[in-house]
Structure 1
Amino acid sequence: MKTLLKSLCLFSLLFTSFLFAQTTTKSTFLVKGECGMCKDRIETSAKKTGAKTANWNATTQKLDIEFDADKTSSDQILKQIAEVGHDNELYSAPTQTYDQLPGCCLYEREPSFLKTAITEQPVKQDNQFFVRGNCSSCKSRIEKAATSAGADSSSWDSNTQMVTLNFDPAKTSADLILKKIADVGHDNEKFTSTDDTYKNLPGCCLYDRELPLGVKSDLVHDDEAESAAPKKDFSQHADHFDKSIEEVRLIRLADATALSKKETGLTFNIGGKELLKAACCNLSESFETNATVDVSFTNAVTGTKQLKMLGLDQKYTSLTKELLPSIRGLAAPYGLNLIPGRWIGGIQLTKGGSTVVNGYESITGQINTELLKANDNPETSINFFGDVHGRVETNITSTTQLNEHWNQSVLLHGNATLSKTDSNDDGFLDQPTGNQINAAYLLNYNDLDHSGLGTHFGISFVKDQRFGGQTTFDKKIDRSKQTAYGVGIDLSRFEIWNKTGYVFKDKPYQSIGWMNQFTTHQQDSFFGNRNYWGNQNTFYSNLVFESIIGNSNNKFKTGASFLYDQYDEDYLTQNYKRTETVPGVFFEYTLTGLKYTLVAGARTDFHNLAGTQFTPRLNFKYDVTDKTILRLSAGRGFRTANVFAESQQYFGSNRQIEILGNGGKIYDLKPEIAWNYGASVQQEFKLFNRKATLVADFFRTDFQNQVLADLDISPQKLVFYNLEGESFANSFQTQLDFAPAKNLELRLAYKYYDVQAEFLGGKREIPFMPKNRGFFNASYSTDKTDKGAFWNIDTTLQLIGKQKLPNLNSNPLEYRLPEFSKSYSTLNAQISRNFNKNIRAYVGGENLLGYTQNNPIIDVQNPFGNYFDAGMVYAPIMGANVYFGLDFKF
Structure 2
Amino acid sequence: MKLYISKVILGAFLLFTQIIFAQNLSKSQFKVKGNCEMCKERIETTAKKAGAKEARYSIDSQILTLETDSNVSTDEILNKVAEAGHDNEKFKASNETYENLPGCCHYERDLQPKIAENHEHHSKKENEFYVKGNCASCKARIEKAAKDAGAKSADWNAEKQTVTLDFDSSKTSADKILKKIADVGHDNEKYKSSDSTYKNLPSCCLYDREIALGEKNPNVHYEEDTKSEHSEHADQNASNENHEKHIEGVIVTGGKAATSLSKKEAGLVFNIDKKELLKAACCNLSESFETNATVDVSFSNAVTGTKQLKMLGLDQKYTSLTKELLPEIRGLASAYGLSFIPGRWIESIQLTKGGSTVTNGYESITGQINTELLKNAKEPETSLNLFSDFNGRAEANITNVSKINEKWSQTFLLHGNGTFGNTDMNDDGFLDRPKGTQINAAYLLNYNDLEESGFGSHFGINFIKDERTAGQTDFNKQLAQDKQTAYGVGIDISRFQVWNKTGYVFKGKPYQSLGWMNQYVYHQQDSFFGLRNYSGKQQTYYSNLIFESILGNTNHKYKAGASFMYDGYDETYLIDNFKRNEIVPGIFAEYTLTGLKYTLVAGARADFHNLAGTQFTPRLNFKYDFTPQTILRLSAGRGFRTANVFAENQQYFASNRNIQILQNNGDIYGLKPEIAWNYGVSLQQEVKLFGRKSSIIADFFRTDFQNQVLVDLDRSPQQLTFYNLEGKSFANSFQTQWDFTPFKNFDVRLAYKYYDVQADYLDGRREIPFMAKHRGFVNLAYSTNKNNNGAFWSFDTTLNWVGKQRLPNTSSNPEEFQLPTYSESYAVLNAQISRNFNKKIRAYVGGENLTSYYQKNAIVDFKNPFGNYFDGGMVYAPIMKANFYVGLDVTF
The TM-score by the shorter chain falls in which range? 0.7 to 0.9
Equivalent position to 2:563, from 561, 566, 569: 561
Q: Distance in 2 between matches of 1:553 and 1:343?
A: 37
The offset of 1:550, in angstroms, is 0.5
Relative to structure 1, the CA distance from residue 34 to residue 467 in structure 2 (aligned partners, 3 Å threshold; closer, same or farther) is farther
Aligned position for 2:714? 712
Deviations 1:342-382 (A, max 9, x none): 00000000000000000000000000000001344531000
Deviations 1:562-607 (A, max 9, x none): 0000000000000000000000000000011111110000000000
Aligned position for 2:308? 306
Relative to structure 1, the CA distance from residue 757 to residue 80 in structure 2 (aligned partners, 3 Å threshold; closer, same or farther) is farther
Q: Quick check: 2:380–2:401 contact (8 Å CA) kept in 1?
A: yes
Counterparts in 2 of 1:431-442, with a 5 A limit?
431-442=433-444
Q: Distance in 2 between matches of 1:29 and 1:409?
A: 34
Counterparts in 2 of 1:826-837, with a 5 A limit?
826-837=828-839
Identity %: 67
Aligned position for 1:294? 296
Q: Distance in 1 between matches of 2:260 and 2:420?
A: 38
Aligned position for 1:232? none
Equivalent position to 1:769, from 755, 766, 771: 771
- 1:369 matched to 2:335? The reply is no
- SS of the aligned residue for 1:363 comes to coil
- SS of the aligned residue for 1:462 comes to strand
- SS of the aligned residue for 1:699 comes to strand
Relative to structure 1, the CA distance from residue 582 to residue 132 in structure 2 (aligned partners, 3 Å threshold; closer, same or farther) is closer
Equivalent position to 1:521, from 503, 510, 523: 523
Deviations 1:708-734 (A, max 9, x none): 000000000000000000000000000
Aligned position for 2:120? 207
Q: Distance in 1 between matches of 2:53 and 2:475?
A: 71
Equivalent position to 1:841, from 836, 839, 843: 843
Aligned position for 1:743? 745
- 1:285 matched to 2:287? The reply is yes
Aligned position for 2:352? 350
Q: Quick check: 1:90–1:118 contact (8 Å CA) kept in 2?
A: no
Aligned position for 1:806? 808
Equivalent position amino acid for 1:432 in 2 = P
The offset of 1:687, in angstroms, is 1.1
Equivalent position to 1:155, from 93, 100, 106: 100
Aligned position for 1:661? 663
Q: Distance in 2 between matches of 1:242 and 1:785?
A: 24
The offset of 1:89, in angstroms, is 6.5
Relative to structure 1, the CA distance from residue 156 to residue 451 in structure 2 (aligned partners, 3 Å threshold; closer, same or farther) is closer
Deviations 1:44-103 (A, max 9, x none): xxxxxxxxxxxxxxxxxxxxxxxxxxxxxxxxxx9999534356476599xxxxxxxxxx
Q: Distance in 2 between matches of 1:252 and 1:511?
A: 28
Q: Quick check: 1:282–1:340 contact (8 Å CA) kept in 2?
A: yes
Q: Quick check: 1:775–1:798 contact (8 Å CA) kept in 2?
A: yes
Relative to structure 1, the CA distance from residue 881 to residue 92 in structure 2 (aligned partners, 3 Å threshold; closer, same or farther) is farther
Q: Quick check: 2:78–2:90 contact (8 Å CA) kept in 1?
A: no
Relative to structure 1, the CA distance from residue 460 to residue 694 in structure 2 (aligned partners, 3 Å threshold; closer, same or farther) is same
Relative to structure 1, the CA distance from residue 130 to residue 634 in structure 2 (aligned partners, 3 Å threshold; closer, same or farther) is closer
Aligned position for 2:646? 644
Equivalent position to 2:57, from 65, 83, 90: 83
- SS of the aligned residue for 1:623 comes to strand
Deviations 1:732-771 (A, max 9, x none): 0000001001100000000000000000110010000000
Equivalent position amino acid for 2:868 in 1 = N
Aligned position for 2:675? 673
Aligned position for 1:571? 573
Q: Distance in 2 between matches of 1:242 and 1:784?
A: 24
Counterparts in 2 of 1:239-254, with a 5 A limit?
248-249=217-218, 253-254=255-256
Q: Distance in 1 between matches of 2:767 and 2:577?
A: 33
Aligned position for 1:501? 503
The offset of 1:786, in angstroms, is 2.0
RMSD between superposed Cα atoms in Å: 3.3
Equivalent position to 1:596, from 595, 598, 605: 598
- SS of the aligned residue for 1:333 comes to coil
Relative to structure 1, the CA distance from residue 491 to residue 155 in structure 2 (aligned partners, 3 Å threshold; closer, same or farther) is same
Equivalent position amino acid for 1:667 in 2 = Y
Equivalent position amino acid for 1:207 in 2 = E
- 1:447 matched to 2:449? The reply is yes
Q: How many pairs are equivalent?
A: 728
- SS of the aligned residue for 1:83 comes to strand
Aligned position for 1:478? 480
Q: Quick check: 1:752–1:772 contact (8 Å CA) kept in 2?
A: yes
Q: Quick check: 1:677–1:701 contact (8 Å CA) kept in 2?
A: yes
Deviations 1:203-248 (A, max 9, x none): 655524989xxxxxx99xxxxxxxxxxxxxxxxx9xx998869974
Aligned position for 1:585? 587
The offset of 1:515, in angstroms, is 0.3
The offset of 1:129, in angstroms, is 14
Q: Distance in 1 between matches of 2:383 and 2:74?
A: 37
Q: Quick check: 1:385–1:883 contact (8 Å CA) kept in 2?
A: yes
Equivalent position amino acid for 1:883 in 2 = Y
Q: Quick check: 1:33–1:86 contact (8 Å CA) kept in 2?
A: no
Equivalent position amino acid for 2:120 in 1 = Y
Aligned position for 2:410? 408
Q: Distance in 1 between matches of 2:74 and 2:852?
A: 55
Aligned position for 1:399? 401
Q: Distance in 2 between matches of 1:655 and 1:455?
A: 49
Q: Quick check: 2:332–2:648 contact (8 Å CA) kept in 1?
A: yes
Q: Distance in 1 between matches of 2:87 and 2:478?
A: 81
Q: Report runs of 4+ in structure 1 exceeding 2 Å deviation.
A: 27-35, 78-93, 114-125, 128-136, 154-161, 201-211, 240-253, 374-378
Q: Quick check: 2:57–2:64 contact (8 Å CA) kept in 1?
A: no
Q: Distance in 2 between matches of 1:335 and 1:488?
A: 16
Relative to structure 1, the CA distance from residue 135 to residue 811 in structure 2 (aligned partners, 3 Å threshold; closer, same or farther) is farther
Equivalent position amino acid for 1:843 in 2 = V
The offset of 1:787, in angstroms, is 1.7
The offset of 1:832, in angstroms, is 0.3
Aligned position for 2:95? 139
Deviations 1:290-343 (A, max 9, x none): 000000001111011000000000000000000000000110000001111100
Q: Distance in 2 between matches of 1:425 and 1:241?
A: 64
Equivalent position amino acid for 1:751 in 2 = K
Q: Distance in 2 between matches of 1:86 and 1:521?
A: 39
Q: Quick check: 1:587–1:603 contact (8 Å CA) kept in 2?
A: yes
Q: Quick check: 1:687–1:740 contact (8 Å CA) kept in 2?
A: yes
- SS of the aligned residue for 2:100 comes to strand
The offset of 1:139, in angstroms, is 1.4
Q: Distance in 2 between matches of 1:795 and 1:426?
A: 30
Q: Distance in 2 between matches of 1:271 and 1:117?
A: 39
Aligned position for 2:169? none
Q: Distance in 2 between matches of 1:249 and 1:381?
A: 35
Deviations 1:595-623 (A, max 9, x none): 11100000000000000000000000111
Relative to structure 1, the CA distance from residue 160 to residue 761 in structure 2 (aligned partners, 3 Å threshold; closer, same or farther) is closer
In structure 2, runs of 5+ residues without a counterpart are 1-27, 41-51, 68-72, 107-113, 131-156, 166-188, 190-215, 220-252
Relative to structure 1, the CA distance from residue 130 to residue 307 in structure 2 (aligned partners, 3 Å threshold; closer, same or farther) is closer
Counterparts in 2 of 1:529-540, with a 5 A limit?
529-540=531-542
Q: Distance in 2 between matches of 1:290 and 1:206?
A: 39
Q: Quick check: 2:32–2:64 contact (8 Å CA) kept in 1?
A: no
- 1:274 matched to 2:248? The reply is no
Q: Distance in 2 between matches of 1:521 and 1:805?
A: 33
The offset of 1:547, in angstroms, is 0.4
Relative to structure 1, the CA distance from residue 562 to residue 92 in structure 2 (aligned partners, 3 Å threshold; closer, same or farther) is farther
Equivalent position amino acid for 2:391 in 1 = H
The offset of 1:28, in angstroms, is 12
Q: Quick check: 1:440–1:459 contact (8 Å CA) kept in 2?
A: yes
